[in-house]
Amino acid sequence: MKHYEVAIIGGGLAGCSAALHIAKRGVSVVLFERGRCGAQASGVNFGGVRQQGRHPAELPLARRSRGLWDQLPELVGSNCEFVPTGHLKLARTDAEMAELEAYRNMARDFGLELELVGKKRLHEMYPYLGDNLAGGSLCREDGQANPRLVAPAFSRAARRAGADIREMSPVAAATHTGQYFEIKVRDEVVSAAKLINVAGAWGAKVAAWFGDEVEEGVIAPNMCVTEPLPLFMGPNLGVCGGSIYLRQIPHGSVIFGAGMAIADPEKIRARPLAEVTQEGARLAIEMVPRLANALLVRTWTGIEGSIADGIPVFGPSLNVRNLFHAFGFTGHGFQLGPGAGAVLCELALDGETRTAIDGLSIERFQKVASSVGRH
């Protein structure tokens, strides 16, 4: 039986980043991905690299990850089209403006600087916005990247660093013998001293193999892209309540997301919905009226794990030593991906991390399975 120090289940951005960070420390690591690395949520998302608006429990991880986005060329050999375009969160009412102000004050404690922009200045700075807005909050260091490029770039860099990246390798079962993990993939069983579960929308299923019970639902944000338009948009746009979000990519197309499509994690299928696309287009045009004449060229969606309180399960297992989970990113794990891998590497190799992740612990669900002893 082949033995590794660390095994990873899931080749999304979180898993590929963990593999890279672990391999760079010279430790043996294998990653199992059922399909292709980055083909699920990590490769089909909106591409928002956004810290603004995150739950305070997630901000330390988001801050850690933001530093890594600047280092992509050194880490993976490409910037993956990461551009710090900024992120402008818009308010439609004075009450929403007050929410943005309260968030700005809270975020300062995490070193995240946000600038409030009043109604008059908003329209001077961004004349392409619709006129039903009360103001906004700008995060200059937020931005966007091309999701199709990022996880594959991390997987290639991990392989170059010595990681054993195994695509088309579905893990059918994993157990803990009391000393190490045994992982069954097709006809082979490999063993590992440590196991990282980054299986995305299938993460709770893997966690349940070890008695870590968490309810993970599934969401499928409905995405659309227009034909290329002359460049006009500055920062990515969002709105209080999250009903619509938009960004313009360097070749001119405007990508927007609004509402939810449908997904079936068992069949590994997801598809956008025409009526959701139609309402999304209406909201996009309300926010940016010049989109009224733009042609929509494609719609799509993806399969994303979702936790009821809106934040992921992140950190050590409650039941099994040397098992670490990071799943259920609930629509906002792309920005977190590079940092998630760095923190998982620290947890697995050092037993601790310098990033505050306590608020994301599986402990908040208080469901320790009594049948599975802590090994």
Ligand X SMILES: Cc1cc2nc3c(=O)[nH]c(=O)nc-3n(C[C@H](O)[C@H](O)[C@H](O)COP(=O)(O)OP(=O)(O)OC[C@H]3O[C@@H](n4cnc5c(N)ncnc54)[C@H](O)[C@@H]3O)c2cc1C
Return d(Cα 368, Cα 56) in angstroms, integer.
25
Q: Are 325 and 362 in contact (CB under 8 A)?
A: yes
Reference 207, options 171, 164, 178; nearest CA is 171
The answer to whether 92 touches 133, Cβ cutoff 8 Å, is yes
Q: Applying CB under 6 A, which of residues 4, 22, 48, 86 lies at the interface with ligand X?
A: 48
Q: What would the two tokens of residue 325 be? A: 């989970």
Question: How far, in Å, CA of 98 to CA of 82, rounded?
Answer: 31
Contacts to ligand X from residues 281-310, by CB under 6 A: 301-302, 304
Angle between helices 147-160 and 13-24 (to 10 degrees): 30
Q: Is 360 in the site for ligand X (CB under 6 A)?
A: no
Q: What are phi and psi of 221, to 5 degrees?
A: -60, 135
Q: Which span (131-139, 225-233, 271-279, 334-342) binds ligand X, by CB under 6 A? A: 334-342
* Residues 203-242, interacting with ligand X (CB under 6 A): 221, 223
Residue closest to ligand X, measured at CB: 12
Q: Is residue 335 at the binding interface for ligand X, with CB under 6 A as the rule? A: yes
Return d(Cα 80, Cα 3) in angstroms, integer. 33
Query: Smaller CB distance to ligand X: residue 216 or 304?
Result: 304
In the complex, least distance from residue 363 CB atom to ligand X, rounded to whole angstroms: 20
Minimum CB separation from ligand X for residue 119, in Å?
Answer: 27
In the complex, minimum distance from the CB of residue 39 to ligand X, in angstroms, rounded to a whole number: 6
Binding letters toward ligand X, positions 5-44, x by CB under 6 A? ----xxxxxxx----------------xxxx---xxxx-x
Which residues in 247-266 contact ligand X (CB under 6 A)? none
Residue 197 in tokens: 């579960």
CB of 120 to ligand X, least distance (A): 30
Q: Distance (Å, rounded) from C-alpha 195 to C-alpha 29? A: 10
Question: Cα 167 to the chain's mean position, in Å?
Answer: 20
Q: Point out which span in 3-11, 96-104, 154-162, 248-256 binds ligand X (CB under 6 A).
A: 3-11
Closer CB to ligand X, 200 or 315, in the complex: 200
Binding to ligand X by CB under 6 A, coded x per residue (else -) over 145-174, reads -------------------------xx---
User: What is the rounded CA–CA span in Å between residue 80 and residue 97?
Assistant: 34
Question: CB of 153 within 8 A of CB of 58?
Answer: no
58 three-class SS: helix
Retrieve residue 320's tokens. 């099994």
Of residues 50 and 92, the one with the C-beta less far from ligand X: 50
Interface region with ligand X, contact rule CB under 6 A, candidates 273-281, 285-293, 326-334, 346-354:
326-334
**Which positions lie near ligand X, rule CB under 6 A?**
9-15, 32-35, 39-42, 44-48, 170-171, 198-202, 221, 223, 301-302, 304, 327, 329, 331-335, 337
